[in-house]
Amino acid sequence: MDGVAGRARLLALDWGSTHLRAYLLGADGVRLDERDADAGASTMNGDARAYEAALEDVAGHWLAARPDLPIVACGMVGSQHGWREAPYAACPAGAADLAGALARVDAGGRTVAIVPGVSCRGEDGVPDVIRGEETQIVGALAMQPDLAAASTLVLPGTHSKWASVEDGRIVRFSTYMTGELFALLRAHSVLGRLMQGEDAPLEQGFDAGVRAAAGSAGLTHQLFAVRTLGLTGELAPAALSGYLSGLLIGSEIDAALRARAPDGAAAPRPLSVALVGAPALTALYERALALRGVTSVRRLDNTAPAGLWRLAAAAGLITDLEGSP
């Protein structure tokens, strides 16, 4: 069989709320091709036909050439309002636990295996969940095996996740609505009125915001300073977005570090952090962590394909298909 489809072993789908990203993976999970579409789960309204149509649109040409390809998907496609709900696996959860709890849905005679999310309860007793990030964590551990023994993985984004991994399993995590708050405050609050547009570089004012977040005034009070510093001219309009970003990210990091401090200690034990996400965003987190004295930091970009490959292998979905190496 000719072409990249002939060398494919897996169709991997990272199906979030707003985007669908499809990866054609070959031997050892090597990316042969990829496509994306604005066909996120939030646009589907739980309609199975819409999901089938989106899959056909983004990957139909691959599947026509290789109808035997296994398909595995992660993200909001497995939510309560997704294509088929994949119930949360409870912490501690690793690749084997997730692979053993895959949900399955029929797609025009093909089976799509859907990765479950993960749930836990925080020390405050409040439930927390991740969906999609568990696959990125599995991928990060596959790409950087030394992280498996004991590490902290931070996945910045709309809802940032701080996950503790031990012996290759997610043992606990916490969510911070940092990205969503930033977007809401910049676009729909009084704080955004003096700011420059969305293209304003966040590096300006960022460090000052991170440092301010360490104060004892409280975040809701500190946020109003984004407006007053602009009104008084102490911060230029171009720096206000960065200052807001620094306040929110700094507040998130401070809370996460306190949660990881031993009982009675004023500071966390020495921490090794892996940041997983878009390079521009992980760079900001690395910068903020350095201002808090955390310098043992590594950055990983898109780990979802590696995670989907690892989970498909653990579930026995990857076999010696005709035409594969």
User: Cα(125)–Cα(136) distance, rounded to whole angstroms?
Assistant: 25
Tell me the backbone φ, ψ of residue 65, rounded to 5 degrees. Answer: -80, -30
C-alpha atoms less than 13 angstroms from C-alpha of 97 in its C-beta half-sphere: 18
Q: What pLDDT is attached to residue 263?
A: 65
Closest of 108, 77, 95 to residue 14, by C-alpha: 77
pLDDT score of 265: 56
* β pairing state of 103-107 and 273-276: unpaired
Q: What pLDDT does residue 4 have? A: 86
Per-residue pLDDT tens over the stretch 193-241: 998 766 656 778 999 999 999 987 889 999 999 999 999 999 999 999 9
Mean pLDDT of 272-292: 95
Residue with more model confidence, 315 or 266: 315
89, β-bridge pairs? 118
Residue 306 contacts by C-beta under 8 Å, 6 or more apart in sequence? 29, 138, 139, 140, 142, 143
Q: In what order do the strands lie in the sheet with 89-90?
A: 89-90, 118-121, 127-130
Domain boundaries, the chain: 4-175+304-314
Lowest mean pLDDT among 1-15, 23-37, 44-58, 306-320: 1-15
Q: What is the maximum alpha-carbon separation in the chain?
A: 69
Category of 29 on φ-ψ map: left (φ > 0), alpha (ψ -120 to 50) or beta: left
CA 99/CA 83 separation, integer angstroms:
18
Compute the mean pLDDT over every residue in the chain, rounded to the nearest whole number.
Answer: 92
Angle between helices 237-259 and 178-188 (to 10 degrees): 150
On whether the CB atoms of residues 15 and 36 are closer than 8 A, the answer is no
Single-letter residue type at 136: Q
| pLDDT of 1 above 60 | no
**Region of poorest pLDDT, from 17-21, 202-206, 282-286, 314-318:** 202-206
Q: Encode pLDDT of 62-113 as tens digits.
A: 999 999 999 999 999 999 999 999 999 999 999 999 999 999 999 989 999 9
Class of domain 4-175+304-314: alpha beta
Q: Does the structure show a pLDDT above 60 at 321? A: no
pLDDT at 27 over 90: yes
**pLDDT number for residue 324:** 35
Q: What is the pLDDT of residues 126-158, one digit of tens each?
A: 999 999 999 999 999 999 999 999 999 999 999
Reported pTM: 0.93
Please give the share of the chain, as a percent, with pLDDT higher than 90. 83
